[in-house]
Structure formats: C-alpha cells, structure tokens
Structure 1
Amino acid sequence: MPDDVPVLSRDEAPRLFALVDEVAAAVGTTGVHRVVVVPDANASVGTYGLRGRRVLRIGLGLWEILTPAQRVALLGHELGHYAHGDTRRSRVVGTALRTLAVLVNLLTPDPPDGLLERVAVSTLLAPRAAALGLLTVLDHLTLRASQRAEYLADAAAGRVASTTAVVELMDRLLVSDTVGDKLRRESVLAQTRIGGIRPRDAEDGLWERIAAQTGAVPAREYERLRRAGERRGHSADSTHPPTHLRRRHLAGAAPRPARVTCDESASLAIAAELAPARAAIARRVIRDCAG
C-alpha cells in the first residue's frame, strides 16, 4: 500500500471497523484488515500481501458528501463484492490485474531526451506491449462478470442499508464527478491567496465545505443529471454498468428496510477516528491539487 496515505487498523478506528464488521455480516462475508483513506470521490475493496489480506479504500471526496445511511449503503455495496465472489477482486485474478497494471506503468517511460535514452526506451517496447496485451485480454474476459457483480453488490447494499439509501447513493454518485473540481478550486484559491484565504485556513473545514456545496444541489439538478446520464450512459468506469440502469433496477425492486444503521453517536465516534486522516488528506489536497 502507498506510504503517503493514512492506513487505519482496528485499534485506531474501533467504531469504524465495528460498522464495517456489522455490514459485512449482514451481506454474508467478513470484514477487512485495514482501511486506507484517500482524497478521491470513490471507494473500493481489494486484497494485499501474500495472505490476501482485505483492504477497504475510502475516498473522502465521496464519504464526506454522504449521509450515515448512504455510507452504510456504500459499505454494503463494496463488501457485497466479497460476498458474491467478484472475479476481478479475487486473489488470483485481482492480483493479476493489479500486477499487470503496475507493470505497464513501470514500463511506460518519460519522453526520451537524447540518443542513449531513445535506445534504452526502445528496449522497453516489447515487454510493455506484452504486459499491455495480457492486461487488455484479462480485462475483456472479466468485464461481463464485473458488471454483473455490480448489480449483485447493489442488491446486497439494498438488503443492508434499505432500498431508499442505495437509490440516494446512486444520485450522489452523479454529483461526485464534480468533487475533484471543487477540491482543485479550493487549492487554487488558497495558494493564490485570492480573497485573503491562506492554505491553513483552507485546510480547516475543507470537507465540511465540500459536503455543504453538494448538499445544496437542488432536486431539479439531480433530475437533469439523471436524464443526461441516460443520454450518454454515465458510469463510474468501464467495469460498472451505467448508473441510471443501476438506479432504475433498484428503484423498481421491492422496498427493503435497513438492517444496519449508523446512529448519531456512532457517526460522531467514526468522525473522531477519521479526524487525523481527514486533516492529513485536507493538507495534501490544498498543497498539491493546484499543481
């Protein structure tokens, strides 16, 4: 795992891990060994190490714009991938995909400068092409199964957090694309001192401002985004079905009540556990995003 991101253990975040364990049990699997906190407007699960330890990656850009019920839905979806045997997250296939992706990145050099560098770069062309070819083939072979796994994970989230919470999560995903722009704007304003904002001031309350801006999005904008998504087939990436199809599938299913909830006390405790990571990531965003 990267050295420059906060990594939480059970001892450091007992209430967060307790919620993860409760959601995991409700979807029919076990919890995770580590939680990695990143600035992205995304979340994912995976494995690391020879023993296939489980890791949950929480992107604050998404986590911070969700309500407690929507966060339970997010956890239900991600942990649902473990429960339903998602091929791309299995130890063998998942490790192969990650390894090939890293290998392609390592074999992709910077533009050469001079004859000797051009010669050196040319020796990387064949192994990079081989790695990229294998990655493309494996990605294509697992794509259909991956999209099916997304629907199964959505269903698992609905059983845990309620159908309503998962539908609301789908709507939040439509506006999560703008979070990166909001973070970059905060960074630029701080580094250019526009309006007298200093970097330290911008770091304080960063996530609260992002959540407030997202919370102020009116219902009509969500409707517009849903219609636009239907026209262009909005999805998180190629491994995910279009968001509007996922939302429609959930909205058309029989309503389910929440089996796992996160009350105010638990939410505050989890926020306190995440506070050091939130501060570290805010500092990184403000100081690095503009560049």
Structure 2
Amino acid sequence: METVDEVDAPQVRQCPECGAAIAVPARFVSWCAACDWNVDPSAPDPERGRLAVFRRRLAMRYGQQLAEEIERNGQAADQVGPDRSTVLAFGVSLLVHSVTMGLLLAAGALIIGGWHTRILPLFGVMLLVILAALLPRPGQLPRHAPVLYRADAPRLFELIDEVAAAVGTTGVHAVVLDTTHNAWVRTYGIRNRRVMCLGAGLWEVLSPQERVALLGHELGHFANGDVRSSFVTHGALQSLARWYAVLLPQPVVRLVYLCWNALVFMPRWAVYGLIVLLDGLTMRASQRAEYRADAGAARAGSTAAAITLLDRLLVGDAVEGHLQHESITAPQANGGSRDRETREAAEQALWERLAARIGSIPESEYERLRRVSAQRGHSVDDTHPPTHLRRRCLAAAEPQPARVVCDASRAQSIAAELAPARAWLARRVIRYNADY
C-alpha cells in the first residue's frame, strides 16, 4: 500500500519540448524550467470592464517605468514633492466636487426659491435624494466581521505600534479580520481613525517574520501617503464611480429606457472621461506608494521576509480553492455536529490544514508561479504594480535586517488573542447547520 509520502514524491519526466529531465510533485503542475514548457497551462481569466482593462494596462506601464528608475537610482531618487500630475489631479478632483456642490445649491434653490410654484420643490427634493445616494461617504468598519480594539488584543497592537515606528508612522485604532487572502488599511468615520484588515487566508499562511513585513507594507501606506487615498481625490473617484454606475445604459425593453439611454449618453461618457483622466494623473503616484510600502516591509521585517511575502501573494488561488473545499467537506466529515468540542476542533484544524497545505508547496511551484506572474503581469488588483517587478526591486536593493522581530513567544501570544476571531471566521467557512 502506498504511503502519502510515496504518492507525493517527485516523479522524473522528460520535457516534450527540449528533452530536459523535469521532476515535480504529483499534486502540482508539470513544467520545464529550461524552456518554460507548460509553465502556464491555464488561460488567464478575461478581464471584465473597460475601466479595469485600462487601469491594468496603465499600472503595468507605470510599474515598469518606476521599477527601472528605482533599480537605477534607488528609492530616494523618487521621493520628491508633489509632481505636476498630482497637482492636476487635485484640481480635477476639486472640479468634480464643485459640480456636486453646484447640484446641491441648485436643489436648495429649487426648494426655497420655487416654493410658491409647489412643483419646483418636488424636483429639488428628488435632486437631494439622488445626491444623498451618490455623495462620497466616510469609511465605515465592516458590520459582519470581527473587529478588535487595543483592549481586545494588546500584544497584536503592541507589534503594530513597533512596526509603525519602524516605518515612520503611528499605529491603528482597530483591526478587522476576514477570510480573504488579502490585507488593507484605510480610515473610517468623520474623525479619520485608522483601521487595518488582516485576511486570515493570508495571515495564517505567513511565517511570523512575514507577518511583520505585511504589517510594515500596510502601515507604509500611512507613512508615505497616496494621492488616491487622500480625502479630496478618493472622494472624487468615489463620486465618479457612483455616477458612472447610475448612468450605465439600460436594456431597451420599453421606450422609456431608450429615452433614458439617449439622455445619459453624453453625461456617461463625460464621467468616464473624468475617471480615465484622474486614473492617468494619479496612477504613477499610486504605483510609487506601493514600491515605498514594499521598502517599509523590508525595513520592518527584513528584505528576505518582504520577498517571501510577495511569493505568498502568488498562491491566492490555492488558498481560495482550499477554503472552498473545506466549506464543502468539513460539514460532511463532522456530520453537521452540534457537539461543541467537535465543532471547536474542526474550527481550529481548518486554519492548521490551510497552513500545512500552503506550506507543502515546493520551491519549484513558486518559481513556476513567479514566471507566470511575469508573463501575465500578475498584481494584487488593477492599480498595483506587477508583483514580479515589486519582487525584483526588493531583491536588487541592499538587503536590510529586521528592525522588528516576532519571536515564537510573541507569535503564540498574538495567536491566543486572535483565537476567538479565528474560530468565528472558521465557522463562516465551514457553514455548519447548527445554531450559533
């Protein structure tokens, strides 16, 4: 009878293209490192949406340009004040907000000045309702996800504070956890408090030092700034996105829809043009902010940890696939048990199995994913620089030691603080039929 090790043992095969010997574990793609045969057997997902395609192409172009500049001159060569594009972006953003304010004043004029007509105030109220739906809003904390504050996880916030000091900023007011293979920072509320989201699908597959690098990257966005995240520019992009969604053409099933499509044709393209213009003006600065955040990751967690963190971003599909598999098989394996101990054991084992699954990925598979990343221009989203360029810049820079160290004792303490949230997220993944 075959053991697990025998099933997963590498098998030697011959490349059908160049004849070189290739050895890959049975659970992974068979490919040739010599000639790149079968390095990318699956076709990339088609990009949907005119804006997404435009942003991806722009991000790749600026990402390549900035990577070459950083490799040639270093990070310091690009750390200058606001350039002409940033100033123009600020002006366009103010123009967008002035249109919104003009419509708000028009609604007020219709309500107050046309009160004697009885009909004009109705149009004013309708305009106010539309504006209320389309105006940008302050960020909010997620409602259906665990939110931790300093009193809930003091050791985690202590680590965040140390990393923030290493990258030249301050910590956050709240930490949100979800199941995604991602992390982000933003502000929320009218007081612009800071929040960081840690996706368990990413956090759980990282080593302690890679987690420090992740915190350094995210907090680096606060330290370095990003014109797209500023109140004025972000609000303008948010308003334009809402207007564009409202002005999309409707299927012509009635005459009124045909009239609507004709009425909004020019405004829709005007809004689209402003979005493209703002993207073009802010993309370079946004790309630069990502490279600087990567430098913050290296400064906080070490260059080596920052590089391997970027490698972990390439296995997002494997993480999502594993969690989808768990959502199907875990309830069946436990028979939808209502026993508390059985449920808790399954919840704890879910994240351990994920870490073991990702930990079993061999270096040859990471190398294949890196080559696929270079061919496709993989990035975290349609505004980030390509991941392989970010990795290349880190590897080309002078290696940095870790300024913040997360040892085993600290990692265990943080894991204990996160345990209730991990269990809650595991329940979301497993989806028991039991009542909670």
Fold agreement, TM-score > 0.5:
yes
Q: Secondary structure at the match of 2:155?
A: helix
1:84-163 alignment to 2 at 5 Å? Answer: 84-98=224-238, 101=241, 107=246, 126=264, 129=268, 134-163=274-303
8 Å Cα contact 2:247-2:264 kept in structure 1: no
Matched, 1:254 2:398: yes
8 Å Cα contact 1:33-1:55 kept in structure 2: yes
Matched, 1:213 2:213: no
The corresponding residue for 2:208 is 68
TM-score scaled by length of structure 2 = 0.59
Separation in structure 1 between the aligned mates of residue 238 and residue 428 of structure 2, nearest angstrom: 25
Q: Secondary structure at the match of 2:163?
A: helix
Matched, 1:223 2:367: yes
Cα drift, residue 101 of structure 1:
4.8
Cα distance change of structure 1 residues 97 and 43 upon mapping to structure 2, 3 Å threshold? farther
How big is each residue's C-alpha offset from its partner over 1:221-266, in whole Å with a ceiling of 9 and x where there is no partner? 1111111111111111121111111111111111111100111111
Separation in structure 2 between the aligned mates of residue 235 and residue 8 of structure 1, nearest angstrom: 29
Cα distance change of structure 1 residues 233 and 22 upon mapping to structure 2, 3 Å threshold? same
Cα drift, residue 108 of structure 1:
9.0
The corresponding residue for 2:146 is 6
Cα drift, residue 196 of structure 1:
5.8
Which of 199, 214, 217 does residue 59 from structure 1 map onto? 199
Cα drift, residue 71 of structure 1:
0.3
> RMSD of the alignment, in Å?
2.9
Which of 43, 51, 54 does residue 183 from structure 2 map onto? 43
Cα drift, residue 38 of structure 1:
1.1
Q: Secondary structure at the match of 2:283?
A: helix
The corresponding residue for 1:285 is 429
Cα distance change of structure 1 residues 99 and 54 upon mapping to structure 2, 3 Å threshold? farther
Separation in structure 2 between the aligned mates of residue 140 and residue 268 of structure 1, nearest angstrom: 45
Matched, 1:273 2:417: yes
8 Å Cα contact 1:84-1:152 kept in structure 2: yes
1:232-251 alignment to 2 at 5 Å? Answer: 232-251=376-395
The corresponding residue for 1:20 is 160
Cα distance change of structure 1 residues 188 and 28 upon mapping to structure 2, 3 Å threshold? same
* Matched residue type, 2:151: D
How big is each residue's C-alpha offset from its partner over 1:112-148, in whole Å with a ceiling of 9 and x where there is no partner? 9x97xx86xx59x949947666555433432221111
How big is each residue's C-alpha offset from its partner over 1:151-205, in whole Å with a ceiling of 9 and x where there is no partner? 11111111111111101111111112321111111112235x2x56647465342
Give the total of aligned pairs: 282
Matched, 1:81 2:225: no
Cα distance change of structure 1 residues 272 and 51 upon mapping to structure 2, 3 Å threshold? same
Separation in structure 2 between the aligned mates of residue 58 and residue 102 of structure 1, nearest angstrom: 27
Separation in structure 1 between the aligned mates of residue 247 and residue 214 of structure 2, nearest angstrom: 34
Q: Secondary structure at the match of 1:178?
A: helix
8 Å Cα contact 1:189-1:197 kept in structure 2: no
The structure with the larger Rg is: 2
Separation in structure 2 between the aligned mates of residue 273 and residue 197 of structure 1, nearest angstrom: 29
Q: Secondary structure at the match of 1:73?
A: helix
Q: Secondary structure at the match of 1:285?
A: helix
8 Å Cα contact 1:77-1:154 kept in structure 2: yes
